[in-house]
Amino acid sequence: MSLQEEIQKRRTFGIISHPDAGKTTLTEKLLLFGGAIQSAGAVKSNKIKKAATSDFMEIEKQRGISVATSVMAFQYGGKQINILDTPGHKDFAEDTYRTLTAVDSVILVIDVANGVEAQTEKLMEVCRMRKTPVIVFINKMDRDGKVAFDLLDEVEEKLGIKVCPLSWPIGEGNRFKGVYNIHKNNLNLFDANKTKIAQEIVEIKDLNDPKLDEIVGEEYANELREETELVAGVYDEFDRETYLAGDVAPVFFGSALNNFGVQELLETFIEISPTPRGRMADGEMHNPDDKKFSGFVFKIHANIDPKHRDRIAFLRIVSGEFERNTFYKHVRLGKKMKFPNPTSFMAQSKEVIDSAYPGDVIGLYDTGNFKIGDTLTSGADFMYKGIPSFSPEIFKEVQNDDPMKTKQLEKGLAQLTDEGVAQLFILQPGNRKVIGTVGELQFEVIQYRLQHEYGAKASFKHRPHHKACWLTSENEAQLDEFIKRKLNNIAYDKDNNPVFLADSPFLLTQAEMDYPEIVFHKTSEFKLD
């Protein structure tokens, strides 16, 4: 198969939502419809009987939340589907933001009862910034919630995007009967089934068919006819180009837990969603069909398999064909590397692959060569630019609770902060280590993983910092003077860049005024320039 044919086959997307909207359940059901798994376990917060396929870290299974991006691939309808299931919890938003650099489109899951929530709005901002096409899936229609039309108004108002319903619910809450596919002009009715795909699907080609009244009842049938007529009058007809430009979001309704509406979503998704897209690097667009291979690392994960203590760099392929045991250039390090065991993913199971194509996400076993944002190429030197590390909001000093395991603690902190869930700063004197995060839950995850994956025990002591600012200046004398004066608040990141840990907004503003030739960077973006 030619490179162009391989590209046309692929669809790479992320699933994003506010916590508990049903994102991981939807991921599981897409895998179920794709034949990648045979049955699905119901995911219930804190009461997981069978852990979700995509949540492989032990703490995720205990807490019932996703705290790391999972990568899954399966075939459906002649297409290669690559799903990136992201953390919903706001404390892990940075991992989600970085994952959005690696996808070509997004499915945004909204809970029918809660509507558009704060985290959903933040995620949508990132999609808008990148012009990422978005499909909305309104979930849990079998539970009491907001009226469908009100929800659509809320999506348009709060997320700042026009909507176009491509399916419509038949009833809602305990009256929910199924989903009418507006896009295909047919009706699929399923029995509620949490673990398997219903074998019998009733298909009706015309809403005026009297068979509809027999199946759902006259009241429901008339309600559906009236509402779809209203939809046709209020919303524009679906236009794929407008969707691909990120200007309109197709909307689907359903219940992922009970398999309602998932097949409509999946089949329409593979029909309308974008093929792999190119990426900008050094002011130049690199397209998927370029003959030279290129890709970038958007995620690093240590100990995916705790038995083997492996560390894997997740690489999104942008252009050309990746081949096993072929030398590629690691641009930042300026050295050639080859990979004997590149892997594809199906949640925690992995298999070695011989080749991969644009849109694919592959795992590269890593001994510490990769950082988030690194680029591999077979051609000219350039670096893809990703979403940077943001300034943390919570700072805590690491306390070593078992001095006999100091080496394990050092290794664990280095590897876990390489993953990007937190940032590590070194304070002098004494090489004191300060962890910075955007949420409290990250400390719990780090503490748990240090103990269970590295055998190290640590606790954390709060530090009263407001913000971390990376420092650069063309006036070296002024920078040196500032560092000497503020020594107690100066730390160094993992790349030995000086960082000012400001204790308050006032002191940060004062420092910026007193030292006008120093740039106080609120993100590590400057390192990517």
Under the banding of pLDDT at 50, 70 and 90, the label for residue 50 is: very low
- Please state, in angstroms and rounded to a whole number, the distance separating the CA atoms of residues 498 and 523: 13
pLDDT confidence of residue 337: 95
pLDDT confidence of residue 346: 61
Interval 255-266: pLDDT, tens = 888 888 888 899
pLDDT confidence of residue 178: 83
User: Would the pLDDT of 307 be above 60?
Assistant: no
Phi/psi for 9 (5° steps) reads -75, -20
pLDDT confidence of residue 428: 86
- Please state, in angstroms and rounded to a whole number, the distance separating the CA atoms of residues 252 and 239: 15
pLDDT confidence of residue 44: 34
pLDDT confidence of residue 193: 53
- Please state, in angstroms and rounded to a whole number, the distance separating the CA atoms of residues 1 and 13: 23
Q: For 487-492, what is the mean pLDDT? A: 93
Peptide bond into 19 cis (omega under 30): no
Q: For 343-357, what is the mean pLDDT? A: 78
- Please state, in angstroms and rounded to a whole number, the distance separating the CA atoms of residues 139 and 256: 6
Under the banding of pLDDT at 50, 70 and 90, the label for residue 37 is: low
The dihedral of CA 511, 516, 521, 527: what is its sign? Answer: negative
User: Would the pLDDT of 66 be above 50?
Assistant: no
For the beta sheet containing 178-181, the strands, ordered from the edge strand earlier in sequence to the opposite edge, are 167-170, 178-181, 186-189, 202-204
Under the banding of pLDDT at 50, 70 and 90, the label for residue 418 is: confident
Distance of CA 243 to the CA centre of its chain: 20
Under the banding of pLDDT at 50, 70 and 90, the label for residue 225 is: very high
pLDDT confidence of residue 79: 92
Under the banding of pLDDT at 50, 70 and 90, the label for residue 435 is: very high
Contact by Cβ (8 Å): 348, 301: no
Residue ranges of the domains in the chain?
9-272, 279-377, 394-528
User: Would the pLDDT of 191 be above 70?
Assistant: no
pLDDT confidence of residue 378: 94
Q: For 40-65, what is the mean pLDDT? A: 42
DSSP string, 205-238: S-TT-HHHHHHH-HHHHHHHHHHHHHHHHHSPPP
More confident residue, 511 or 92: 511
What is the rounded end-to-end Cα distance, in angstroms, of the chain?
Answer: 37
> Do strands 335-337 and 375-377 pair parallel, antiparallel, or not at all (unpaired)?
unpaired
pLDDT confidence of residue 59: 46
User: Would the pLDDT of 64 be above 50?
Assistant: no
Contacts of 510 (CB under 8 A, 6+ apart): none
pLDDT confidence of residue 38: 61
pLDDT confidence of residue 177: 82
Contacts of 212 (CB under 8 A, 6+ apart): 187, 204, 221, 224
Q: For 442-460, what is the mean pLDDT? A: 88
pLDDT confidence of residue 192: 53
Strands (E), 63-150: 70-76, 79-85, 105-111, 134-139
The dihedral of CA 513, 519, 525, 529: what is its sign? Answer: positive
- Please state, in angstroms and rounded to a whole number, the distance separating the CA atoms of residues 65 and 209: 44
* Token pair recorded at residue 99: 């994952």
Q: For 110-133, what is the mean pLDDT? A: 87
Secondary structure letter of residue 382 according to DSSP: -
Could you tell me the CA-to-CA distances from 162 to 106, 146, 249 in Å, in that order? 15, 19, 6
Q: Is 442 exposed, middle or buried (0-12, 13-18, 19+ CB in 10 A)?
A: buried
Under the banding of pLDDT at 50, 70 and 90, the label for residue 231 is: very high
pLDDT confidence of residue 166: 95
More confident residue, 96 or 124: 124
pLDDT confidence of residue 326: 96
Contacts of 135 (CB under 8 A, 6+ apart): 105, 106, 107, 108, 243, 249, 250, 251, 252, 265, 268, 269, 273
pLDDT cut 70: percent of the chain above it: 84
Interval 513-522: pLDDT, tens = 999 999 998 8
Q: What is the CATH number of domain 279-377?
A: 2.40.30.10
Contact by Cβ (8 Å): 519, 473: yes
Please tell me the least confidently modeled range out of 55-59, 69-73, 435-439, 513-517: 55-59
- Please state, in angstroms and rounded to a whole number, the distance separating the CA atoms of residues 338 and 350: 19
More confident residue, 20 or 90: 20
pLDDT cut 90: percent of the chain above it: 47
pLDDT confidence of residue 519: 93
Secondary structure letter of residue 132 according to DSSP: -
Phi/psi for 50 (5° steps) reads -130, 120
Q: Is 263 left (phi over 0), alpha (psi -120 to 50) or beta?
A: alpha
User: Would the pLDDT of 393 be above 90?
Assistant: no
Class of domain 394-528 as given by CATH: alpha beta
User: Would the pLDDT of 63 be above 80?
Assistant: no
Q: For 248-252, what is the mean pLDDT? A: 96
Interval 130-186: pLDDT, tens = 899 999 999 999 889 899 999 999 999 999 999 999 999 988 888 888 888 888 877
More confident residue, 287 or 345: 287
- Please state, in angstroms and rounded to a whole number, the distance separating the CA atoms of residues 273 and 288: 16
Under the banding of pLDDT at 50, 70 and 90, the label for residue 129 is: confident
pLDDT confidence of residue 47: 31
Under the banding of pLDDT at 50, 70 and 90, the label for residue 49 is: very low
pLDDT confidence of residue 100: 84
* Token pair recorded at residue 77: 């309808």
Q: For 75-99, what is the mean pLDDT? A: 74
Q: In which residue are the tokens 């979001």 written? A: 249
- Average per-residue pLDDT in the chain? 83
pLDDT confidence of residue 197: 55
User: Would the pLDDT of 117 be above 80?
Assistant: yes
Q: What angle do CA 172, 177, 183 make, to 5 degrees?
A: 90
Q: In which residue are the tokens 């970038």 written? A: 296
Strand, coil or helix: 451: helix
* Token pair recorded at residue 173: 């809450």
- CA torsion 357→361→367→369, rounded to 10°? 70
Q: What angle do CA 523, 527, 529 make, to 5 degrees?
A: 105
Under the banding of pLDDT at 50, 70 and 90, the label for residue 85 is: confident
DSSP string, 148-214: HHHHHHHHHHHH--EEEESEEEES-GGG--EEEETTTTEEEE----SSS--S--EEES-TT-HHHHH
Give domain 9-272's CATH number out of 3.40.190.10, 3.40.30.10, 3.30.420.40, 3.40.50.300.
3.40.50.300
